[in-house]
Amino acid sequence: MPRILILFAHPVLEKSRMQQVLLAAATGMPEVTVHDLYELYPQFDIDIDREQDLLTRHDIIIWQHPFYWYSCPALLKQWMDLVLEHGWAYGHSGTALEGKKVFNVITSGASTEAYQAGGFNKYSIRQYLLPFERTAELCRTTYWPPFWVPGVHRMQQGEIEEYGIRYFALLTALRKGSLREEEILRAPQLNDFVSFNQTTPL
């Protein structure tokens, strides 16, 4: 059974309804480690050995964060800069992460329609996620499409909670291995594998 590591980065979680719900959904699941970066390293003093050790002990790595300015919050970037060392995560002898799966779980203010050619943001979310994708590929991991919660600013409480349920369902399915990788890689986003009204995956 694959073990899942959620690298969570949010500087003001107390102000984000959506992220609180997502985090609550993931917390307490067996074989799922929720790793709250801002809570652990409020002064940005990342413990690199500990982080690398955590990575090696998990199979699926999730970067969960709000999509600030088309990217992640500062601490997650710092985490990438420091933890994904040359010779460990990439480079000729950097094979520590080989074969692991990586994807982003993000929340954005703008809607799905905004992220397309001709839309407000002009490009798709996958295009904006290219830095993450290349990072994952350089580290010899497989980059999966994101679990993406768009339009969070207009969301009603009910909708928010439904996303929490979907996230829980996704994590359950990944743990059980009930999703086939070819299908995952073909999908534009991981949202598609779980519907609003289902608590179990398709």
Closest distance between other proteins and the C-beta of residue 172, in Å?
27
Q: How far is residue 144's CA from residue 123's CA, in Å, rounded to a whole number?
A: 18
Is residue 180 near other proteins by the rule CB under 8 A?
no
Closest distance between other proteins and the C-beta of residue 158, in Å?
16
Which helix (H) or strand (E) element contains residue 65?
strand 60-66
* Positions in 149-168 near other proteins (CB under 8 A): 151-154
Is residue 184 near other proteins by the rule CB under 8 A?
no
Stretch near other proteins under the rule CB under 8 A, chosen from 6-14, 52-60, 159-167, 175-183: 6-14
Closest CA to 57 of 21, 114, 96: 96
Stretch near other proteins under the rule CB under 8 A, chosen from 27-35, 84-92, 145-153, 160-168: 145-153
Q: Can you tell me whether residue 167 is helix, strand or coil? A: helix
Number of residues that bind other proteins (CB under 8 A): 18
Position among 15, 86, 134, 176 found at the interface with other proteins (CB under 8 A): 15
Position among 1, 3, 27, 42 found at the interface with other proteins (CB under 8 A): 42
Residue 18, burial from CB neighbour count under 10 angstroms (0-12, 13-18, 19+): buried
Q: How far is residue 136's CA from residue 142's CA, in Å, rounded to a whole number?
A: 7
Q: Which residues of 172-200 are buried (b: 16+ CB within 10 A; e: fewer)?
A: bbbbeeebeeeebeeeebbbebbeeeeee
The binding site for other proteins (CB under 8 A) comprises: 11-16, 38-40, 42-43, 68, 75, 109, 151-154
